[in-house]
Copies of this chain bind each other. A is one copy, B any other.
Amino acid sequence: SGSEEKATSADELKTGLSKDEISNEAFKDLFPLQYDSYKKNDRMEDTKYSGSVKRSKFDHDKEPYLPVLFNGYGFATEYNEDRGHIYANEDVRAIARITDKSIGSCLTCKSTAVPHMIEEMGDDYWGGSFNEDIWPKAEAMGHSPIGCSDCHDPQTMDLRITRPSFIKAMESQGIDMSNPTKNDMRNYVCGQCHVEYYFAADNGEVTFPWANGFKPEDMYEYYETTAKEQGFEKDWIHNVSGTPMLKAQHPDYETHIEGPHGQAGVTCSDCHMPYDRVEGGKKKISSHWWTSPLKTMDQSCATCHSNRDLDDLKERVLNIQDTHMEALHKAEDISITSHYYVNKMITSGVSEAKIKEAQEHIRKGQWFWDIVAAESAAGFHNPQGAMDSLRVSIEESNAAINLAIEELTKKGVNLEEVKTEIEKVKKAVYDEKDNFKKKEKAINSYFPAQQPAPKK
């Protein structure tokens, strides 16, 4: 009852910061607790399937055959486990996927300077040269890696969406974005970046393929219709099978929304930003250490699952992940086979029409496992949904293989030999110790490249 006296008119509270503030450090003195919590994002510690150590995804205990599967694309050169928000700028700078052809759009989810640049530059931001214009400009503006101003209004600290791509995409699905609830915002701030995207064909704008829905099949349909109509057909041509491919990226938001937690109204922030008592217990804040919730289960899970033994619950998560990863590896393996079979179709002189038909299945088959592999929770964000996607992937890769078997047999190709050669080439990739060179081992004289050598 004494609380009324303390009440202040919320509308009048202001931080005193400029509305254009983009430096994390400017928030430090005002919000030392959140700032300290944010600083924990520099910690590096792994969990069984995820974690925060900068490690190659090509390592033997991760997905060693990715250099085959992404052959001919930057993701076959360097692809790492993601880590703390604090490293976003450092990592985007260092990655070999950035070349002189890279565009501004690549900075979109890494730097606090982006919203202002979009405002100032309009479409020139998206298509601008990353190395020559965009990055130097962001540095000059004094940007931070993913920071307070990306999610908060610097003057009121209200949560806000700073990446227009998200709003456009939600509206494309008919979702009203004019008056989100507090709960919605606890998903939306993450949905700005942890999503599947592509660069629009005309201006390079970061675009989310959501008009038909969030499921893998909905996004695939979008790519086959709307995206194609608008001139976007592929991310690259596969170097083994010559297929025009799509690359899937981190659909954490889409996967979570369709999963058991998302459907129950649980948000990203509930698990990844649980309430945390700091300053020796005196104060309670939202944790700003975005990492694996398996490191903070007491805060992240026990609030809702108060009647569960936490060791049991962790065990359950690991079971889900084990089942998931085994199936993922299987789907990847069948996808690999489909690429090499089609390579053999090409070199054996099978008709264009049949090759094209097989490539369509390859493209689809890879999409349905990649959208699962690219998601970050090893299946936990939607166990049944992810498995369903792998099921479709296997069907499609197999459809390509079926076609190849028929045509190759007609041409008198010895399939036993093809199988042996596939095992050999896989082994060469696996055994190569230098992760950067693995991609070269995916191609050899038996399975020659189907794409001009990747441009530098």
List chain A positions with a Cβ less than 8 A from chain B: 260, 263-264, 304, 307-308, 312, 316, 319-320, 323-324, 327, 330-331, 334, 379, 383-385, 387-388, 390-391, 394-395, 398, 401-402, 405-406, 409-410, 415
Contacts and interface: CB of A to CB of B under 8 A. Distances in A.
17 contacts: A264-B312, A320-B384, A323-B385, A323-B388, A327-B391, A331-B391, A379-B384, A387-B387, A387-B388, A390-B391, A391-B391, A394-B398, A398-B402, A405-B406, A406-B406, A406-B415, A409-B409
Contacts of A394: 391, 394-395, 398
B391 A264 contact: no
The number of times this chain is found in the oligomer is 2
Q: Which A-B residue pairs are the 10 nearest by beta carbons?
A: A387-B387, A383-B384, A409-B409, A398-B398, A405-B405, A391-B391, A405-B406, A384-B384, A406-B409, A394-B394
A308 B264 CA distance: 8
A410 B304 CA distance: 61
A401 B388 CA distance: 21
Contacts of A383: 383-384
A262 to B, nearest CB: 11
A382 to B, nearest CB: 9
Contacts of A410: 409
B327 A388 contact: yes
A399 to B, nearest CB: 9
Contacts of A323: 384-385, 388
B395 A334 contact: yes
Nearest to A326: B388
Contacts of A334: 395
Nearest to A409: B409
Nearest to A319: B263
A301 to B, nearest CB: 13
Nearest to A333: B395
A312 B394 CA distance: 32
Given A263-B319, A320-B384, 19 more contacts: A263-B316, A304-B307, A323-B385, A323-B388, A324-B384, A327-B388, A327-B391, A383-B384, A384-B384, A390-B391, A391-B391, A391-B394, A394-B398, A395-B398, A398-B398, A401-B402, A402-B405, A405-B406, A405-B409
